[in-house]
Structure 1
Amino acid sequence: MKAYIGTRDFLPDDWRVMNYIFNTWRKVSEQYGFEEFDAPTIAMVELFTEKSGEEIKKQLFWFKDKGGRDVCLRAELTPQLARFYVNYAKAMKKPIKWFSIPRVFRYEKPQKGRLREFFQYNADIIGEDNVSATAEIINLSINLLKNLGLTNKDFTIRINSRKILDALINRLGVSDKARFYLLLDKKGKMEEKEFEKELKTLSKEYKILKELFTLNTNELLKKFMELGLDTDRLTGLFRLIDKKYAVMDLSIVRGLAYYTDIVFEAFDTKNELRSILGGGEYNNLIKDFGGEETPAVGLGMGDAVLLELLKSQKKLPIFENTTVFIATIGSVLKDAVKLREQLISKGCNVNMNLTDKNLSKQLSYAQSKGIEKVYILGEKDLKKGTITVKDMKKGTEKKIKG
């Protein structure tokens, strides 16, 4: 019987990889002063429809519980974070810097980089309007990936401003805002000529619009100022982030009804995969959940695309098994248990023979686990007060005092 569609079985070697990613996420988050939290796996459906509308139900694993309530498996943690903030934040000093690594569920068509069950890293700063909070989130994003061995040759953070886009729409007389945003969102999947043809139908200032998509970050910021747009927030942001990893990209849009200004996404430099991570400023969510209008910025990163990138770039480490093994010959189980406790007290991880298999099969088992050191306890050696230690990598043996 196979696993349910869009889910994965994690054998020990697979889970070792996941723990490497989780531990890296936790280490970097804590280095940046973020605190970990979690929320219930089951939530009321209205928690998600409040943020994303009734349409979101198509992407939820939802059902009625025995009390007739509409509940679902969590699809993300941001709505829960908003609920937490409204319920508990009055007693907390601002800004709040929290992160989480939940297992989440979405009823979507499985494909490369998209699953129905996956892990999603989240980090949010709530209660600080200064652009330094957004810079903190973007620098965190960069360092999360850098600490997994990725460099600016592997990924780029693409940044945009929704307020700048809206100002451009007004300044250049774009006739259909919704169609313009949709076009931007599809730009990466279109031929350049097709994109330009569509762009031409939206504004009489087509040449200026077209030019904007050919400019680098510094040129764009300069052009915005020439057009009379307020670039203070964007300019301040780019002063605070590592520009080796970040560029301005007018095609980054993200959720229209959710994000309020600066948005960003990370992509592999070969453009072979879906977005690695994404986020932005969402200043209306807390108010939507019954709280006061509160500035907020955050990021989300699923493990599926990240794993694809780490594998393709050969960035996953080779995991050495630091566990030692105790092999036994004869009736020495009591002595083996005693040795195991001694080794554990010294900080070792210890696997021990629990079978009646001969020594050859025990050594074969240890080798299959990648174990490099085996303590061999035999009745004859114990009578002499010695234990044989075998180096499985070198194939050498030595006697030590028992």
Structure 2
Amino acid sequence: MAGNSDPLTPRAKLAVTAGKAVAAASRAAGRGSGSVIGGKVALKLDPDLLARLAQHLDVILVSATNGKTTTTRLIAEALRAAGPVVSNALGANMPAGITSALAGGSDAKFGVIEVDEKYLAGVARDTDPKCIALLNLSRDQLDRAAETRMLAENWREGLAGSKAVIVANADDPLIVWAASSSPNVIWVAAGQMWKDDAWSCPSCGGVMQRPGDDWFCGQCGFRRPTPSWALSGDHVLDPHGSAWPIHLQLPGRANKSNAAASAAVAAVFGVPPQVGLERMYQVQAVAGRYDVVQFMQRDLRLLLAKNPAGWLETFSLIDPPPTPVILSVNARGADGTDTSWLWDVDYTQLTGHPIFVIGDRKLDLAVRLEVANQHFQVCENADQAVQMAPPGRIEVIANYTAFQDLRRRVGN
């Protein structure tokens, strides 16, 4: 491992400078943060730049289908108790965005990096992480992402023999199978609300048995490992059996689960659970998610849900009926263009809520709601939906690009 005194090579310095200049130009042109284009330019000039930038850092990688961005923020907050942190906090989670983030953190001790599932093995190879957090795997972007078991296999092969400490969710069979090739795994009982992608055994294809919170394969004996950390109600249980309270400003059980995994990661670096969990209270909203904004004299709470597992978690967060709900779905490149996943979401959970439907694929969603016997109105845009909604705070649930559209519109 290189020491902090190791300067970057002249080529690497040039790449960083050029990347920052391009990113600044992109920002000035109003084209977003510029982190991705800046990273691409930097990597073109020095293909080894990511590895060089990671040399002096204790790198922590975070990957999952749902909860990556939030968990990355929680871990970064907890680790600041032990030293300066650099992180790709805005969710640019492919190699170019990660390179950009690390280029901005020359004084950092820790690099806390969210990684897109498809790039995890490669980024782990480049950055020599001390710790990797694996939270969940479920179907997402059906037209692009490999089927979940193929992703798990890709992780299993890519992480085999890794020196990193793997912090993994013992309740997700796909995660357990992916992590089991690693020699050093810390299992966290973080729960699994969405089970529809883990009914067959990832090891042999047999049917999984799920008595209570346990799971095992009746055919090959693959089974849930014994966790050393666990989420229990509003507390995290550590390996010594002590219970530490979780105080978050972020709502819902999924975020308590993210906090439990984050506490286990922070402990790998010597941050006690009490300290780590207290620091996590600072996190209020993550890239606009969970923010309550004022728009047209109304309070709107913005919630992101990208896939069936995410929608299920989000339904558990919203205020009870008759709170109005706006649903927005797009199917652009970043969302995946196949909307058939809408049929995997149980929309009967919205019964009693006045529902307003917007977004590029509002008609696809309308058909799905019709079949689920929901009362809804299709609207042209957010402004019309807000105007038509009955009084009270409005819950707004959107998938990825629809969420970005909404943030721009409501000035968040």
TM-score in same-fold range (> 0.5): no
User: Per residue, is there more strand in 1 or in 2?
Assistant: 1
Shorter chain as normaliser: what TM range?
under 0.3
- Which fold has the larger relative contact order, with Cα–Cα distance below 8 Å and residues 6 or more apart in sequence? 1
TM-score by length of 2: 0.26
Structure whose alpha-carbon radius of gyration is higher? 1
